[in-house]
Amino acid sequence: MSDSFPPSDRGRASRPLPKPGIMDIHAYVPGKAKAEGVENPIKLSANENILGSSEKAREAYAGAAGELHVYPDSRTTILRTAIAERYGLEPERLIFGCGSDEVFALLNQTFLEPGDNIVQGEFAFAAFAIGARACQAEVKIAREPDYRIDVDEVLKVVDDRTRLIFIANPGNPTGTWIPFSEVRRLHEALPPSVVLVLDGAYSEFVTDPSFNDGLEYARTAANVVVTHTFSKLHGLATLRVGWGYGPAEIIAAMDRIRLPFNTSIPAQRCAVAALADEDFQRRSLGLVEQWRPWFEQQLGGLGLDVVRPSAANFVLVGFPPTARRSAAEAEAYLSSKGLLVRQVANYGLPDHLRITFGLEEHNRAVIEALTDVLKP
Ligand SMILES: Cc1ncc(COP(=O)(O)O)c(C=O)c1O
């Protein structure tokens, strides 16, 4: 039996058929975690926190061991209160998710009907589009000249079926960011029916004083949602905690379809502990600040095309035709040395690699291996 029924005729199929478009979605490809033949590879492929997580968060995790049989608080109250206090936000305008990935999924499910569309940059983080396609929506792509969001390109592709615009600022895998004046220009040019989503997964790593993640702006705008995660600066990726802040009506609508217990007791407690541990946050950011310019300079010195400046905890680097090896060959060589970096061909960047900053010895080992593999 073929899969080519018109949607309304799927009931005549001899087996259950996924709704149209599902099998055209490319499942998310996580960063590599294993290197063949190497026992404990260094994982610089998923933008995790190389320092691990806060000692206070680990204590909170251990402290939750006796409560694994208990359903968590479905309102995530302790974390809601802590975030509202820390950022000066209204608690009822926050929503929590199993990672910010779930917050994106909720936005897609809340706003998209079949035939609607989302708009995203050419090199956007993959989760936005997966969730949109699952809602049988289209994904419209705005060109990113110079590997950076261009507001005019975004506005060019917005049409009357656009319901959501996803902008990661800084972006992944590009690491680049746009100034707040551009975010505001985009917002002001949008129809009020479009939700502008500002994904701040890496915003804590931006050190330029003019950067603004949009939280303050979202307070008064009727159609802006800002998301954040505990997976990056706070090093709690495995616990899956992300959050969104937006207009009360949008958050209330998303809350209708949210799974009730989507942040676990350990996740809630560890996130509260991590949020309070400013020393750990400072050390994590300090490491990134220390190695970011070094990496850019070293990679540039090897004749590679660094996408700069990176404002995140990773750098995207291009292998030009003049390089002696392709990105794929370099990735394979690094992997053979136990250094896992990220191929980004699935982001339309077959000639680039994304490298998460590690500890000094990791960073030096990456540059040494690249020097080796690129030498004449
Ligand atoms: C740009 C961007 N946004 C959001 C996320 C999702 O983070 P999480 O679901 O772990 O909160 C990631 C993860 O890599 C990301 O790169």
DSSP string, 193-223: TSEEEEE-TTGGG---TT---SHHHHHH-SS
Does the pLDDT of residue 171 top 50, yes or no? yes
Least confident range from 3-17, 43-57, 81-95, 192-206: namely: 3-17
Atom 13 (ligand 1) nearest CA = 201
Using pLDDT thresholds of 50, 70 and 90, give the confidence band for residue 5: low
Task: Supply the pLDDT for residue 356.
Answer: 98
pLDDT for residue 1: 38
For ligand 1, mutation pick of 49, 101, 314, 342 (most atoms within 8 Å of CB): 101
Non-local (6+) Cβ contacts of 16 within 8 A are none
User: Which 8-state DSSP code applies to residue 8?
Assistant: G
CA of 82 to the centre of ligand 1 (A): 21
Span of 3-7, 105-109, 301-305 with lowest mean pLDDT: 3-7
Distance, CA 254 to ligand 1 centroid (Å)? 19
Q: How far is the CA of 210 from the centre of ligand 1 (A)?
A: 23
Report the C-alpha gap between 140 and 159 in whole angstroms. Answer: 10
Look at residues 286, 317, 271 and name the one whose alpha carbon lies nearest to residue 204.
Answer: 286
Cβ atoms of 239 and 269 within 8 Å: the answer is: no
Q: Rounded mean pLDDT of 126-130?
A: 95
**Among 331, 335, 305, 302, which Cα is nearest to 319's?**
305
Beta strands in 101-247 (DSSP E): 117-121, 138-142, 162-168, 195-199, 224-229, 241-245
Q: Which atom of ligand 1 is nearest to the CA of 47?
A: 14
Task: Read off the pLDDT band of 174 (50, 70, 90).
Answer: very high
User: Distances in Å between the alpha carbon of 122 and those of 142, 144, 171, 299, 348?
Assistant: 6, 6, 11, 24, 8
- Ligand 1 pocket, residues with Cβ under 6 angstroms: 47, 99-101, 125, 168, 172, 199, 201, 229, 231, 237, 242
**pLDDT score of 213 more than 80:** yes
Q: Average of pLDDT values for 337-360?
A: 97
Residue 113 pLDDT grade (very low, low, confident, very high; cuts 50, 70, 90)? very high
Task: Measure 161 CA to ligand 1 centroid, in angstroms.
Answer: 26
Residue 3 reports pLDDT greater than 90: no
Confidence of residue 6 (pLDDT cuts 50, 70, 90): low
pLDDT for the residue 105: 98
With cut-offs at 50, 70 and 90, classify the pLDDT of residue 376: confident
Give yes or no for residue 373 having a pLDDT over 80.
Answer: yes
The C-alpha angle 80, 82, 83, rounded to 5 degrees, equals 65
Provide the terminal-to-terminal Cα distance of the chain, rounded to the nearest Å: 56
**Which helix (H) or strand (E) element contains residue 316?**
strand 314-318
User: Residues 21, 133: contact at Cβ < 8 Å?
Assistant: yes
Average pLDDT (259-284) is: 98
Instruction: Check whether 314 has a pLDDT greater than 80.
Output: yes
Residue 2 pLDDT class (50, 70, 90 cuts): very low
Give distance in angstroms: CA of 193 to centre of ligand 1: 25
Confidence of residue 36 (pLDDT cuts 50, 70, 90): confident
pLDDT of residue 72: 98
pLDDT at 128: 97
- Closest residue CA from atom 12 of ligand 1: 201
Q: What is the pLDDT of residue 4?
A: 55
Question: Nearest to residue 48, comparing CAs of 285, 238, 235?
Answer: 235
pLDDT score for 33: 87
280-304 mean pLDDT: 97
Largest Cα separation within the chain, whole Å, is 62
- Closest atom, ligand 1, to C-alpha of 241: 11
Q: Do 243 and 100 touch, CB atoms closer than 8 A?
A: yes
Q: pLDDT higher for 147 or 3?
A: 147
CA neighbor of 165 nearest in space, from 136, 202, 128, 200: 128
Per-residue pLDDT tens over the stretch 141-155: 999 999 999 999 999
Atom of ligand 1 nearest to the CA of 230: 11
Q: Whose CA is nearest to atom 16 of ligand 1?
A: 172
Position with higher pLDDT, 16 vs 264? 264
The ligand 1 atom at the shortest distance from the C-alpha of residue 101 is: 9
Whether the predicted pLDDT of 121 surpasses 50: yes
Mean pLDDT to the nearest integer, 253-266: 97
